[in-house]
Structure 1
C-alpha cells in the first residue's frame, strides 16, 4: 500500500462493482487467507439495500468507506451506516443512549459499521487480497473516527469483528467490548452419533430422545439449497418468518424481496432446513454457508411441535456441518439453551468510539467490568457443558 490513498464514502453498494468488492479478503470464495464470509459479500449487502430492508427509510443510511489509491484501485472498505436507532444490531447500547440523553446529550444519529440484522462475526475492516492488512485497517479505523467527528455524530460502533481487527481500532481510540455466543465446534466428527459419544451419558440420552420426539407426528426434514430454492419455497419460508418474527419482534426486518434476491445471487451459499408434515412444509430455518462455517439465521413455523425448533435450528445444522466438513456452526445471538445441545460459549468482540469525553469515561469503566463478567460466565458455562470431562472439545476461542 502506498501513501497516495484516500477515503471515499458511498451511500449504496450499487456505486461499486461487484467484481471490485470481490477482491477484498473474505468477500468471495477462493481467495487466499481470510475464509469466505457470505455476509460481507456484495450479493448479500446489496440485497439488503435493494430489497428495502436496510435503507434510509428503515434507519440505515449507507456511509460505506472505501480506501482507494488515486487511480481508484480499491484497497479496503467498511460497510457502515448512519443510524437514528439501535434496532437490528444485537450489541445493545440502549442504556448508553438513555443515560447520555438524560444528561443532555444527543446519542442519535450514530455510525454503525456492521452487517444489518446479522449477529455473525466477520471482517469489518476489509482489505484487498495480497495486501498487508495492518496499514489498511489503520487507515479505515481513522476514517471511521474522522467521519464521526466531521458529521457531529455521537459515536461509531464496529460490531461482530474478528479479534485481530481490534488493535487498529483501539489505536484510533475505540473501546473494546465483549459478549458471548454459542457455537458448535466440529472436531472432525464422521457422524452425529460420533459427536454424541463425546457427551456425558445423561446428556446423550436426552438429545437422542429429543430428536425422536421432534419428528413424531409424521414430520420429515428436507435440506434445500441451490436450485431447490424456488419462489414457491421462498413464499412458504417467508410465511414462517413473518408469523414467528411478528410474534417475537412485532415487525420483522427483512422483506419478501430480500429472499428472492439472495436466492438469485447466492443460492449455493444458502441452506434451508424445512420440516414437512402431511405433504406441506410447516417450519423452516435459513442458514448461510461460508467457507468453513454454517451460520444459522432465522427460524419460523406455522405449527407448534415439541422440540421441533431445536431439531430444525441446531441438530440439523450439526448434521450438515459434519456432512460438509465445516469447522463450526454459529447459531446466532444469545441462547444458553444451546449449551445442552453441544454449542459451546465463545467470545464475540465489538469496538466503540465515543466522541464525548464524559460518555467515553463512563462507558470505558462499564466495559472493563463487563469484559470481566463475560469471561467469568464463559468459563463457568464451559465447565458445565454437556461433554464428558475427559476428551471434551476445546471452547470455540481455544
Structure 2
C-alpha cells in the first residue's frame, strides 16, 4: 500500500509539505502543525498522536492528509461524543479513531493536500488502512470546497454540516461605514457597547508577531489558559506553542493587547493570510463589562477594514455574533465508520441534522442586524 504514515511532521521537510498546501492556508502549513507537535501540545498523553497520511508513488510524495490517532473526541469542534457513547453501549469499540483535522482549530480549509488525483487515491485506500490498523473510522473535519469535491460520489463517506458565523468586509471605508448598513436599533446598540468600553478607560494596541516580546507571550498564555481554568479545565495549548509559532510564522500573527491604567488586562490572538483574518484565542485577567465584544470582534473588524481583508473568521459557535453582523456559514465534515450498523445509524441521524442546520441557518439570517433592502 502506497500510504505512508508520518508520526512526526519534522521528519518531512517544510518545503516538501508546504508545496502541497494551497495559498492562504496558514493552519495547514508545516510551521503551524509542527509547532503543535514540537511544543508538547500533542502526543500520547494528550490523546492526540500525529498520524499524517502520505500518498507516494515511485518514492515521491504526491498527496497528504494531516491527521491524528485519537483516544477521545475533545478539541475537534465537530461533536461525535454521542456516537461514541452509543457505540460503546452497543459493545462496539469507537476509540481509537483517525481524524483528519487541524487540532483545536475549527477553521475551514484544505484537508486533502497535493495532487487531486493522488489525494483521491489516498481516499480510495483509506478504508483498508483503517482496517489494517484497527481504527474504528475516519473523520475529516472542516473541509473547503476543493477537498469536499473529492468526496463526491463516495457513498461510504457521510457528509455532516454545521454552522459558523463569519463577518464580511463589503468594501467598508471605516467602521462607521459598516454601522451605516445596520438597522437603527442595532447600530445604537453597538455604539453603546463601544462607548461603555471607552468610558471605562481601556486602550488597545496592535502588534504583529515580530513585535511581541517573550514577556508579552507569557501574558498571552496566562489569559488564554485562564479561559479554560475558570471552567475547571486544562488548556489545550502549551506555553511553548506560542513562542514556536512566533519564531516560525511571525508574519501571520496578530495580537491586540488591552490595557487599563497602563496595565495589560486582556488580549485577542489572531492569524492573517490572504484575504482572511482568523480570530483564534481570547482571554482576560478579570471580567469587565462588554470588553469581550470590543477586544474579540470590533477591534478585529476595524483591523480587517483598515488592511483590506475581506473575511473575518471568528471561530466556532456563538450566536451572539449574529447581532454584530457575523453571517451564518455552512461547514462540512466527512465520516467513514467501519461498523456497518453504526454507519447506518449515523447516516440516519445526519439526514435529520442537515435539515435542522438549514432551518437554523435561515433563522439566523433573519436575526442579522442589517437593514432590509
Common topology (TM > 0.5): yes
Match of 1:280 among 254, 257, 263: 263
Structure 1: gaps (5+ residues): 27-34, 391-398
Q: Is the 8 A contact 1:82 1:112 kept in 2?
A: yes
Task: Say which SS state the counterpart of residue 2 (structure 2) adopts.
Answer: strand
Deviation digits for residues 224-264 of structure 1 (CA, Å, limit 9, x no counterpart):
11321110110111111122221136111000000010011
Deviates more, 1:332-341 or 1:144-153: 144-153
Work out which of the residue numbers 131, 146, 152 in structure 2 matches 1:149: 131
Compute the RMSD of aligned alpha carbons: 1.4
2:23 paired with 1:40: no
Determine if contact 1:166/1:176 at 8 Å carries over to the other structure: no
**Aligned with 2:219: secondary structure?**
helix
1:85 corresponds to which residue?
Answer: 72
What do the CA deviations read for 1:142-196 (whole angstroms, capped 9, x no partner)?
2432321211211100001113322423544210000000000111111111111
Q: 2:119 aligns with which of 114, 137, 158?
A: 137
User: Normalised by the size of structure 1, how large is the TM-score?
Assistant: 0.91
**Which of 190, 201, 209 in structure 2 is aligned with 1:218?**
201
| Residue-by-residue CA offset, 1:252-287 (whole Å, 9 max, x unaligned) | 100000001001111110111110111111000111
Aligned to 1:32: none
Q: Does 1:10 align with 2:1?
A: no
Q: Does 1:339 align with 2:322?
A: yes
Answering whether residue 259 of structure 2 is matched by residue 271 of structure 1, we say: no
1:51-73 deviation digits (Å, cap 9, x = unpaired): 1111122111111011223132x
CA distance in 2, matches of 1:220, 1:64: 43
Q: Distance in 2 between matches of 1:114 and 1:144?
A: 15
> How far apart are the structure 2 equivalents of 1:216 and 1:174?
53
1:52 aligns with 2:40: yes
Partner of residue 69, structure 1: 57
1:121 shift after superposition:
0.5
Deviates more, 1:380-389 or 1:335-344: 380-389
Size of the aligned set, in residue pairs, is: 372
Q: Distance in 2 between matches of 1:242 and 1:19?
A: 33
TM-score calculated relative to the size of structure 2? 0.97
Alignment of 1:124 onto 2:111: yes
Q: After the TM superposition, which of the residue ranges 16-25 and 367-376 deviates more from structure 2?
A: 16-25
* Aligned twin of 1:303: 286
List structure 1 segments (4+ residues) > 3 angstroms apart after TM superposition.
none
Q: Could you say what secondary structure the match of 1:340 adopts? A: helix
Return the offset for 1:216.
2.5
Pairwise CA distance, 1:314: 0.7
User: Structure 2, unaligned stretches of length 5 or more?
Assistant: none
Q: For the residues of structure 2 that align with 1:23 and 1:164, how far apart are their CA atoms?
A: 16
- Find the aligned partners of 1:180 and 1:248 in 2 and give their Cα distance: 24
